[in-house]
């Protein structure tokens, strides 16, 4: 099995915190759509004929596309790959794009899962983030999708930013629970270089992110999700039983995937590659029938660290037998590095599996980094 990710590099406006690749100009949108189809054809052998279990339209803002454009890309995928009959096909969407007409048009596509970027139900927060939608659109967009017969929905929330008091965070969670969606992704606000938010903080035009606030709101998030029957299957992801994101879960399980579009990444188990994060250069390369990608062939240490980084964040944990399958004798070294975290009860061991405890989830990235192997 394998997955395909398609990056749609367009947005109506730039969120202040975002460092993903996109353009607010849609001048070259038809050209990009054609180039995506061309890359799908050029990359047809990347997954060695594996059946496609998941397709994910990310961005950018994929919900800017018309249903006909999505069908065009999906048809091109089907021409070159065997797509599973029950494939999970996700569309990232902004609430303001999901009009009644748009949702009805999407019923005429194979899209069967929506990832709706709500982020907050407070207008002042959305304005601070420079989001394109308003709070009333957040609620109505989810209900409109549900009324159209879609049930596999996830919504995004952000916590840990200066305007978000604990009381507002409680209200955001309550409003999300009231929508009765089966999956919720929640992310701590991070300040990425070269974003508007980083510039505002540097100029003291907005308060910096507070780590203590983020930790407290994340802890409360875990408590509330458990109370409402969600499984915390990855640091930022919570799903009702049977509603984990198959596409993202496969990333963390090391399943191969193909990335299509400017800035998209791909992984086949032996190497990683990533396309140029520039629309013009992407179009120029495809015009010459070439794929504008850099390739990194993974060493044994790379593969070990890749597995550690992805597995330790999940409910399935780090399997020592899988670690040894990558490199014989790796598990005793890892267990030695893990012992301090086992002592502090940030990690727990059940037979051959290491997993984060609730306390350890606050330090997931730090723990993974300390478990990494070093090149000799």
Please report the pLDDT score of residue 88 as a whole number.
Answer: 98
pLDDT in tens, 45-58: 999 999 999 999 99
Neighbours of 236 (CB within 10 A): 17
Q: Please report whether residue 107 resides in a domain.
A: yes
pLDDT for 376 beyond 80: no
Same domain, 220 and 331: no
Give the chain's mean pLDDT.
Answer: 96
pLDDT for 265 beyond 80: yes
Residue 367: give its domain's CATH number. Answer: 1.10.10.920
Assign 6 to helix, strand or coil. strand
pLDDT for 31 beyond 80: yes
Neighbours of 375 (CB within 10 A): 8
Same domain, 206 and 323: no
Same domain, 314 and 199: no
> For residue 296, what is the enclosing H or E element?
strand 293-297
Take residue 14 and report the two structure tokens written for it: 């730039």
pLDDT in tens, 82-98: 999 999 999 999 999 99
Q: Please report whether residue 33 resides in a domain.
A: yes
Please report the pLDDT score of residue 22 as a whole number.
Answer: 87
According to DSSP, the residues that pair with 274 across neighbouring strands are 265, 294
For residue 24, report the phi and psi dihedrals to the nearest 5 degrees.
Answer: -85, -5
- Segment 263-292 shows an average pLDDT of 96
Please report the pLDDT score of residue 124 as a whole number.
Answer: 98
- Segment 301-311 shows an average pLDDT of 96
Q: Of 274, 257, 256, 276, give the one whose Cα is nearest residue 265.
A: 274
345 versus 27: the higher-pLDDT residue is 345
Assign 51 to helix, strand or coil. coil
> For residue 157, what is the enclosing H or E element?
strand 153-159
Q: Please report whether residue 273 resides in a domain.
A: no
Q: Please report whether residue 295 resides in a domain.
A: no
Structural domain of residue 116, as residue ranges? 2-252
Take residue 89 and report the two structure tokens written for it: 């096909």
Take residue 87 and report the two structure tokens written for it: 């494939």
Same domain, 90 and 210: yes
- Segment 350-362 shows an average pLDDT of 97
Q: Of 226, 229, 259, 223, give the one whose Cα is nearest residue 243.
A: 229
pLDDT for 67 beyond 90: yes
Please report the pLDDT score of residue 192 as a whole number.
Answer: 92
Task: Give the dihedral of Cα atoms 174, 231, 245, 20; nearest 10 deg.
Answer: 60
pLDDT in tens, 196-245: 999 999 999 999 999 999 999 999 999 999 999 999 999 999 999 999 99
Please report the pLDDT score of residue 375 as a whole number.
Answer: 82
Assign 153 to helix, strand or coil. strand
Take residue 67 and report the two structure tokens written for it: 């249903």
d(C-alpha 250, C-alpha 321), whole Å: 19
Which of residues 192, 219, 252 is at a domain's end? 252
Task: Find the helix packing angle between 330-343 and 364-371, rounded to 10°.
Answer: 140
Q: Of 288, 287, 251, give the one whose Cα is nearest residue 267.
A: 251
Length in residues, the chain: 376
Q: Please report whether residue 36 resides in a domain.
A: yes
Under 8 Å between Cβ of 231 and 239 = yes
Which of residues 252, 284, 315 is at a domain's end? 252
Under 8 Å between Cβ of 216 and 230 = no
Same domain, 318 and 239: no
pLDDT in tens, 112-140: 999 999 999 999 999 999 999 999 999 99
% of the chain with per-residue pLDDT over 70 = 100
- This prediction's pTM: 0.96
Residue at token pair 């990690």: 347
| Backbone dihedral region for residue 327 (phi beyond 0: left; psi -120 to 50: alpha; all else: beta) | beta
Assign 267 to helix, strand or coil. strand
Same domain, 307 and 239: no
Please report the pLDDT score of residue 208 as a whole number.
Answer: 95
The model's confidence at residue 189, banded by pLDDT at 50, 70 and 90, is very high
d(C-alpha 214, C-alpha 71), whole Å: 40
């Amino acid at each position: 099995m394998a997955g395909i990710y398609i990056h749609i590099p367009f947005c109506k406006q730039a969120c202040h915190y975002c460092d993903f690749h996109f353009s607010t100009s849609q001048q070259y949108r038809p050209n990009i759509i054609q180039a995506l189809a061309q890359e799908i054809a050029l990359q047809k052998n990347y997954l060695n004929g594996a059946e496609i279990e998941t397709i994910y339209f990310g961005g950018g803002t994929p919900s800017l596309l018309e249903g006909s454009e999505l069908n065009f890309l999906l048809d091109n995928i089907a021409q070159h790959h065997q797509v599973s009959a029950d494939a999970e096909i996700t569309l990232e969407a902004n609430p303001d794009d999901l009009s009644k007409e748009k949702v009805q048009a999407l019923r005429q596509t194979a899209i069967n899962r929506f990832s709706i970027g709500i982020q907050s139900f407070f207008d002042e927060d959305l304005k601070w983030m420079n989001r394109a939608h308003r709070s009333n659109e957040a609620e109505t967009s989810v209900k409109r999708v549900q009324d159209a017969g879609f049930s596999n929905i996830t919504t995004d929330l952000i916590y840990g930013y200066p305007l978000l008091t604990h009381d507002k965070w409680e209200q955001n969670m309550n409003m999300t629970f009231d929508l009765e969606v089966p999956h919720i992704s929640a992310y701590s606000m991070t300040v990425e270089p070269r974003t508007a938010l980083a510039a505002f903080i540097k100029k003291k035009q907005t308060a910096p992110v507070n780590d203590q606030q983020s930790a407290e709101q994340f802890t409360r998030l875990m408590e509330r999700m458990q109370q409402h029957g969600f499984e915390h299957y990855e640091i930022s992801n919570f799903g009702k039983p049977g509603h984990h994101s198959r596409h993202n879960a496969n990333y963390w399980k090391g399943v191969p995937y193909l990335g299509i579009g400017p800035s998209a990444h791909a992984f086949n188990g032996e190497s990683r590659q990533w396309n140029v994060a520039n629309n013009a250069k992407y179009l120029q390369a495809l015009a010459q029938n070439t794929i504008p990608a850099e390739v990194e062939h993974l060493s044994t240490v790379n593969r070990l660290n890749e597995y550690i980084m992805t597995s330790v964040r999940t409910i399935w944990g780090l399997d020592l037998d899988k670690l040894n399958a990558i490199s014989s004798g790796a598990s005793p070294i890892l267990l030695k590095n893990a012992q301090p975290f086992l002592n502090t009860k940030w990690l727990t061991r059940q037979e051959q599996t290491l997993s984060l405890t609730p306390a350890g989830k606050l330090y997931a990235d730090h723990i993974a980094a300390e478990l990494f192997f070093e090149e000799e």
